[in-house]
Amino acid sequence: MDLMQGAIAVENVHSEVTVVSAKDCKVLVVDDNMVNRRVARLRLQAYGLEVEEADSGKAAIELVRGKRYDIIFMDHLMPEMDGIEAAQIIRKDCGENGRLPIMIALTANATEDVRESFLANGFQDFIAKPLETEPLRETLHRWIRGEMAPADSRPVEFQDILIAGIDMDEALAHGSDNIEEYRELLQLYYLDGKRKPALLRAFWEKGDHKGYGIEVHGLKSASAGIGAMKISESAKEHEMAVYRGDEAFVDSHISQLLADYEEQVEHIRIFLEKGRTCMDVQEKKQEMGRADLLREIRDALDSLEHFRAKECARKIEDILQYRLDPDTERKLGKIQEQLKLYEDDAAEQMLRDLTKQIETEG
């Protein structure tokens, strides 16, 4: 395989670039974070490239001594040995064999001033992590000559979603093809996940095995629906254990299941937090008089009593555009949450209680 080489002066990396042919191109990804490594590997493999991983600078140096890599993506900040030090050692080692790999720094901080320091320290290029579609495509085309495999055929926004424990291919297989809808499902999974672990434990501890079985059955499906396959598999094991009467299995595994479930919910929460756009702090229009408020709330309740939950939710949303007393606002917020979770009975009761409260406050 052809590897054109120019002398690469550390100070002048814009000329004499090493360009690699797509065929047989070997890539090494170095990052101490397993999730980042996985993302990088999957994205690069989508281009038909051969990818290997190393979890530290030291590990990378060892690998490079034994094998030739054409491109090395290296996280510049790692515990023990950082990327820059590792890069310099690798350049020295490979320089002796006359086979310099292209070194690309992975950085969470891709500003201009950082760029200069990378280029001065043995890297030919840098890219922000986690790797995203466009930047990666540009970078690869910059250094690799020839046809690469077509990239990912998944819808563009889905390619950038990365949540620990979630397999996006599975989520897509269940029919999610719209990013807005998928986020809605994630939000529901999160809201539901705030209360379900306690519920599961309660069922089991009071001996309601049937109830527990039904709940884990639901957890299995729900998790698969959003691509949380590990939880789905675990839930399935519990479901089967209940089915065959294997109480001992559940006794010894329930804590692990609930811990994993809570962790998954937390990962989702973090993901949703990041995606939240800054809401404009709207100037609330005006106060709403007590009589009007009462009328609006009764109206919302009426919709709900007639099974028009979405209409009720909209009416509550409208009420919340007005300046309200904090307690009322909080309660309406809770009612909205119940409606989102399809807990219409609970929402109805809360609306009734709120109505009564406002009536008697007169």
Partner 1 sequence: MEKKLKILAVDDNVISLAAIEQELKGEYEVIALNSGLRALQYLKQERPALILMDIQMTLKDGIETLREIRDREECKDIPVIMLTSLRTKDTVLESSKLGIVDYVVKPFNKQDLLERVNRVLKPDKRRE
Q: Using CB under 8 A, list all residues that contact partner 1.
A: 173-176, 178, 181, 184-185, 188-189, 191-192, 211, 214-215, 217-218, 220-222, 224-226, 232, 243, 306-307, 309, 341-345
Q: Taking the complex as a whole, how short is the minimal distance between the CB of residue 106 and partner 1, in angstroms? A: 35
Residue nearer to partner 1 on the CB measure, 140 or 300: 300
Which of 350, 289, 294 shows the shortest CA–CA distance to 322?
A: 289
Residue nearer to partner 1 on the CB measure, 125 or 348: 348
Which of 7, 72, 62 shows the shortest CA–CA distance to 37?
A: 72
How does DSSP classify residue 13?
A: T
Q: Taking the complex as a whole, how short is the minimal distance between the CB of residue 187 and partner 1, in angstroms? A: 9
How does DSSP classify residue 287?
A: B
Residue nearer to partner 1 on the CB measure, 70 or 215: 215
Token readout for 274 is 């990041």
Residue nearer to partner 1 on the CB measure, 130 or 218: 218
Q: What are the residues facing 106 on neighbouring strands?
A: 75, 127
Cα–Cα distance list, 80 to 76, 129, 160, 205, 246 (Å): 12, 20, 29, 46, 47
Q: Taking the complex as a whole, how short is the minimal distance between the CB of residue 232 and partner 1, in angstroms? A: 8
Q: Taking the complex as a whole, how short is the minimal distance between the CB of residue 231 and partner 1, in angstroms? A: 12
Radius of gyration of the chain (CA): 28
Residue nearer to partner 1 on the CB measure, 258 or 341: 341
Q: Taking the complex as a whole, how short is the minimal distance between the CB of residue 170 and partner 1, in angstroms? A: 9
Q: Taking the complex as a whole, how short is the minimal distance between the CB of residue 199 and partner 1, in angstroms? A: 10
Token readout for 111 is 């500003």
Residue nearer to partner 1 on the CB measure, 175 or 289: 175
What single letter denotes the amino acid at residue 313? A
3-state SS, residue 25: coil
